[in-house]
Structure 1
Amino acid sequence: MARVAVIGAGVVGVASAYMLCKAGHQVTLVDRNAGPCAGASVRNGAQLSYAYGDALASPSLLKHLPGILLGRDPAYRVRLHADPEFLIWGLRFLANTSSARYLSNTRYLLQMAAGTRSLLQEVLDEFQMDFDYTVSGKMILFPTAASFAAAQSGYALKTSMGIRQQMLSRDEATAIEPALAHYRDEIAGVVYSPDDAAGRPSEFCAQLIGHLTASYGLRTRYQCEAERLLTRKGRVHGVMFRNYETLDCDAVVIATGYGTKLSAPFSPAFSSVWPVQGYSVTLPATEGAMQTSITDLKRKMVFARLGDQVRIAGMADIGRRRFAFEQDRFAALKEGAQAAFARGFASAEEQDAQSWSDARPCTPSSRPIIAPGKSRGVFLNYGHGTLGWTLCLGSYRETAGGHARPRNLTDTPAPGRALATRHSKGEENERQD
């Protein structure tokens, strides 16, 4: 049994803690916030998009990039400025918009999403949990005949991977999801994925941590900011904190989001990750609310039913290193939601509307960074972008060398095979990273 510290208690960190506990390790989950799932995970789009893990960088996005830069697409806002890291990240992003890279990245993400789907069922088989989880299916609404025809290639890729999808007319889709009858704009066609799901990631994290604490002895440290790793002869043996006693450990999984105050090695490598800010609002559902998750491609917004509420999310603001809630962007989200499905939820002006904004840590390829760190026993698992909820369990399986039930961590270049024994306390050459 190894002592493992997981830095970051969002959905990816909690999923990592679950897999490590199942493998028999002694796990301590650490977060700088007052509780789990307090950053980019807390009120994200809530969709578990097993069939729609498409990479953000795509030929389609490249085609529309001039209009985005000119401010003609309300869903995107790009601020160009002379930050070297942003410029390099942007160039790397553009390099991933080729058809070959887009397909390769999307296939990789879909395989990882499939891992989450199977492992989430294992979690639900073991623990009784209520986080408004439903396998409600997902519909992607295509506004034009051309866009629906272009979806054929993605449909072919996904069905070839064993993903169930159907290409439907508006009438066929409305027979499954009656809320589409109230959609005000044209729908040229719908791609329906019946096995996609939705659920509240914040409740999932809180309840899973409770079960892991009771059943596996998980330990937690909140409001605890990691400052540096302690190593001997190139191997980690502890984590030092700014406001807490040092934590001795044999391995560390870094599952942090994007934070301007994170210090190395907890911050991403130069130009590997950039914040993409998004917004959401959670509103009381009405009788006309959708049951199926919906992605409105015209407005680039997602709608997910969560019990007696509807979660609406969208917007992608790129460019600023330091982000803040912008009322005009939130207003655009609300206006778009009302224009699409006004009968499905209460007014966003009511007091019980839950607004949210945060930055998702995005890589140029949309592939999360899953790799060993510079010191032995350190592993990176971050950069999931808008797909953190969908990829959380599958990405830890990748961290663990592709095994669904990893028994060990490793200090080898390919993580997941064997956790080397910890050096004795008498060894010399200790250093702080």
Structure 2
Amino acid sequence: MKVIVVGGGVIGVTTAYYLAEAGHEVVVYDRQKGPAQETSYANSGEISSGCASPLAAPGVPLKALKWLAMKDGPFSFRPKFDPKMWMWLARMLRNCTAERYQANKSLMVPLAEYSRDLLRVLREGTDIAYDELSHGTLQLFRTQEQLDGIGSDLAVLDKFEVPYEILDAAGCIAAEPGLAGARHDIAGGLRLPDDETGDCRLFVQRLTELCVERGVVFKFGQKVFSIDAWAGKVQRITADGPGEADAFVLAAGSYSERFMRKLHQRLPVYPLKGYSLTVPVANAVAAPVSTVIDETYKVAITRLGDRIRIGGTVEMSGFDLTLHESRRAPLERSLGELFPGAGDLREAHFWCGLRPMTPDGPPILGRTKLPNLYINIGHGMLGWTMACGSGKILADMISGREPEIDISGLGPARFWG
């Protein structure tokens, strides 16, 4: 059948790839001039299935207040007169219980693990290259209190048999030798050896080329104005010209909520802005080997070939894409304290993007109330981690096949109960 995908980021393009592999005729629409020009452009580069966790967690409300009081804290709130902002925030706070955290993380980890495995199969089958490494992730704790607080995460990892190591300071330095020069004490770390890294934008660009070889048509520079439905199903999209198909996939990130609202199917997806710095490696010995997550500043420091990507911070400010210079400080500080001299900050590329967040944490995958409209959104900070799995699940559903993992609890119906 013919399928139209709205969105040319990592989620939309991976969905298109698996749809084409399943034998469908696929057309992708995106308003940008090429693939991965928005949220997928310069994310932190980590494929961290073991670290797949909801933002909504026990203790987060109090932590957020402390972070707001910090000069360079990992959280920034710019309140607006926007009912959707406050409604989303209220729903997120209701998920900040131990019970809800466990349930939501238990939905996210299997999807992330499945996605990582599919990415490996894709890489082996196509020889796609994107500055990828398979050296694991190190979640670094500067205080004993942080290290002592990982019990609930370990319970989920044990449940799904995800390999991990708990390291002391010496073990962290053995895994990441560049930490030997750290200017801050290290209490320990949680190492996830099966995690990977890679340049998301480069991956999407090269996957787009593979999609074209498989017959996928990309209509870049074409903004989709509406998804038009009547007679009980979607009939077309309206862009620069009408686009008709048998099935439609909405994978437009934070902007997907607007389309769904016009179809009278409200979904609580809200943008939380994240920032990154990309710097050239100045000293390879002092640089990270893979990804190190600085738990104190909620910053991920990732090696991407001859570059270092420092990504993090959460800013709640609606659809504002202003690059606030004050948000550079926690990124620069994290790199400077953990890997001093590793990167040339004078040559840093500063960027921000909007992460499409659900209030409970898991993405929204599946069929909507319209039988030929499917949705693949809400991955938040884990779009790169969950992309292949989410795309394959949507392709299987559209093809009439049962997904290979249990996806109950991931569909949009959980918000319509």
State if a TM-score over 0.5 links the two structures. yes
SS of aligned partner of 2:225: strand
1:349 to 346, 350, 375: 346
The answer to whether the Cα contact below 8 Å between 1:259 and 1:267 also exists between their aligned partners in 2 is no
Q: Aligned equivalents of 1:387 and 1:365: distance in 2?
A: 14
Partner of 1:90: 89
Q: 1:358 aligns with which of 318, 341, 353?
A: 353
* 1:41 lines up with 2:40 in the alignment: yes
Instruction: Output the CA distance in 2 between the equivalents of 1:151 and 1:169.
Output: 14
TM-superposed CA distance for 1:232, in Å, is 4.7
Q: Which moved more, 1:115-124 or 1:253-262?
A: 253-262
Following TM superposition, by how much is the alpha carbon of 1:228 offset from its aligned partner in structure 2, in angstroms? 2.1
2:363 pairs with 344, 368, 375, which one?
A: 368
User: Residue 217 of structure 1: SS of its match in structure 2?
Assistant: coil
1:389 aligns with 2:387: no
> Offset at 1:64?
1.3
TM-score (norm 1): 0.87
Q: Which SS does the other structure have where 1:175 is aligned?
A: helix
Find the partner of 1:306 among 304, 307, 330. Answer: 304
Say which is worse superposed, 119-128 or 289-298, in terms of deviation.
119-128
Task: Please say if residues 34 and 223 of structure 1, whose CA atoms lie closer than 8 Å, have aligned partners that are also in contact.
Answer: yes
Largest Rg, 1 or 2: 1
Where in structure 2 are the equivalents of 1:206-217 lying within 5 Å? 206-214=205-213, 216-217=214-215
Answer with 41-50 or 137-146: which moved more: 137-146
Q: Give 1:59 shift.
A: 0.5
Give me the whole-angstrom Cα distance separating, in 1, the residues matched to 2:128 and 2:95. 39
Bigger Cα displacement from structure 2, 81-90 vs 360-369: 81-90
Percent of paired sites with the same residue? 28
Deviation of residue 267 (structure 1)?
9.4
Distance 1:237 1:365 in 2: 31
Structure 1 CA distance for aligned equivalents of residues 395 and 226 of structure 2: 23
Whether 1:228 and 2:220 are equivalent positions in the alignment is no
Which sits farther off after the overlay, 122-131 or 268-277? 268-277
Alignment correspondent of 1:427: none
Matches within 5 A, 1:49-128: 49-71=48-70, 74-128=73-127
1:323 aligned partner, one-letter code: L
Equivalent residue for 1:335?
Answer: 333
- The one-letter amino acid of 2:232's match is G
Specify whether residues 279 and 120 from structure 1 end up closer, same or farther in structure 2 by C-alpha distance, changes over 3 A only.
Answer: same
Which of 239, 263, 287 does residue 237 from structure 2 map onto?
239
Q: In 1, distance between residues paired with 2:35 and 2:56?
A: 30
Q: Partner residue of 1:320?
A: 318
Question: Counterpart amino acid of 1:149?
Answer: D
Give the structure with the higher percent helix: 2
Pair 1:268–1:193, CA change in 2 (3 A): farther
Compared CA separation, residues 261 and 106, structure 1 to 2 (3 A): closer
**Could you say what the CA RMSD is over the residues aligned between the two structures, in angstroms?**
2.4
CA distance in 2, matches of 1:133, 1:345: 19
* 1:308 CA displacement: 0.9
Alignment pair present for 1:272 and 2:268: yes
How far apart, in 1, do the equivalents of 2:262 and 2:13 lie?
17
Structure 1 pair 202–83 and aligned structure 2 pair: CA distance change class (3 A): same
Local SS of the residue matching 1:163 = coil
Find 2:287's aligned residue among 260, 266, 289: 289
Q: In 1, Cα distance between the equivalents of 2:62 and 2:112?
A: 27
Q: Shift in Å at residue 366 of structure 1?
A: 1.4
Measured against aligned partners, the alpha-carbon deviations of 1:252-305 in whole angstroms (never above 9, x if no partner) come to: 000002249955568996560111111111111122111121001112110111
Q: Check 1:296–1:267 CA distance in 2 against 1; reply closer, same or farther (3 A cut).
A: farther
Give secondary structure in 1 for the equivalent of 2:149.
helix
**TM-score calculated relative to the size of structure 2:** 0.90
How many Å apart are 1:69 and its aligned residue? 4.2
Note closer, same or farther for the CA distance 1:264–1:159 as it changes in structure 2 (3 Å cut). closer
Q: 8 Å contact 1:409–1:415 — kept in the other structure?
A: no
Cα distance between partner residues in 2 of 1:64 and 1:331: 19
1:230–1:240 Cα contact (<8 Å) kept: yes
Aligned-partner SS, 1:172: helix
Which residue is equivalent to 1:424? none
SS in structure 2 at match of 1:24: coil
| One-letter code aligned to 1:396 | G
Per-residue deviation at 1:318? Answer: 1.0
Alpha-carbon separation, structure 1, partners of 2:42 and 2:264: 23
Once the two structures are overlaid, the 10-residue window that deviates more, 253-262 or 92-101, is: 253-262
Distance in 1 (alpha carbons) for counterparts of 2:407 and 2:66: 42
The answer for the alignment partner of 2:195 in structure 1 is 196
Give, in angstroms, the shift of residue 400 of structure 1. 5.0
Range with bigger deviation, 106-115 or 55-64: 55-64
Letter in 1 for 2:334: G
Distance 1:340 1:40 in 2: 26
Unmatched 5+ residue regions in structure 2? 409-417
Deviates further, 196-205 or 116-125: 116-125
Partner-residue secondary structure (3-state), 2:346: coil
Summarize the Cα distance change of 1:163–1:245 in structure 2 as closer, same or farther, 3 Å threshold.
same
- Compared with structure 1, are the counterparts of its residues 268 and 357 closer, same or farther at alpha carbon in structure 2 (3 Å cutoff)? farther
Distance 1:246 1:225 in 2: 11
Tell me if the contact between 2:52 and 2:109 (Cα under 8 Å) persists in the aligned partners: yes
1:371-407 per-residue CA deviation (whole Å, 9 max, x = no partner) reads 3234221011111111110011222344356x7xx73
Aligned residue runs from structure 1 range 417-428, under 5 A: none
Q: How many angstroms apart in 2 are the aligned matches of 1:415 and 1:232? A: 28
